């Protein structure tokens, strides 16, 4: 960011920075955990780490069409990680999930970095043009801030397992 950035660019850049920081923090946590660690619950009787990895990946994958960035990469993640609670009898493929996590976030972040102010302020796909005319804050910037908070929420849970 240079000193010639517009006010809008500084504001959207601050939001993008928050997103990137949380993605980096979560990725570092997942990488620190072995595949066996992923099968541990974050606290007794609570979700396993691997469920949160799949859940966050599915939520971020859904951002791709929501933000007008194309088709989803991994719609098959919804059923085990969004439509259903964690099931300890289910053993997802850890290596595959780790790859999905990195691919989805890489795709999103790359696009965000190239967005103009108009892109950030444009309508997301879950709001109608009529509603958006009345509620201009239901824009793509709001979606990214919201998902950044959602990620922070689960980060607070993931660190409970810290040894």
| Site map 6..45 versus a second copy, x via CB under 8 A | -xx-xxxxxx-xx---x-------------------xxx-
Please tell me whether residue 115 binds a second copy under the rule CB under 8 A. no
68-107: contacts with a second copy (CB under 8 A): none
Q: How far is the CB of 75 from a second copy (least distance, A)?
A: 25
Q: CB-wise, 111 or 150, nearer to a second copy?
A: 150
**Pairwise CA distance, residues 75 & 82, whole Å:** 11
Residues 101/30, Cβ–Cβ less than 8 Å: yes
What DSSP string describes 60-119? Answer: HHHHHHHTTS-S-S-GGGHIIIIIS---TT----HHHHHHHHHHHHHHHHHHHHH--HHH
List interacting residues with a second copy (CB under 8 A): 1, 3, 5, 7-8, 10-15, 17-18, 22, 42-44, 46, 117, 120-121, 133-137, 139, 141-142, 145-146, 148-150, 152-157, 160
């Amino acid at each position: 960011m240079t000193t010639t950035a517009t006010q809008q660019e500084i504001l959207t850049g601050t939001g993008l920075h928050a997103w990137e920081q949380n993605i980096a923090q979560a990725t570092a946590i997942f990488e620190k955990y072995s595949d066996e660690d992923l099968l541990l619950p974050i606290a007794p009787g609570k979700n396993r780490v691997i469920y949160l990895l799949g859940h966050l990946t599915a939520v971020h994958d859904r951002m791709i069409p929501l933000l007008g960035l194309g088709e989803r990469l991994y719609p098959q993640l919804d059923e085990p990680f969004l439509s259903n609670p964690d099931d300890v009898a289910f053993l997802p493929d850890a290596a595959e999930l780790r790859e999905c996590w990195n691919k989805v976030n890489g795709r999103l972040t790359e696009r965000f970095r190239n967005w103009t102010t108009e892109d950030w302020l444009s309508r997301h796909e879950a709001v109608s043009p009529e509603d958006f005319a009345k509620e201009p804050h239901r824009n793509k910037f709001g979606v990214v801030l919201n998902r950044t908070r959602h990620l922070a929420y689960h980060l607070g849970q993931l660190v409970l397992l810290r040894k």
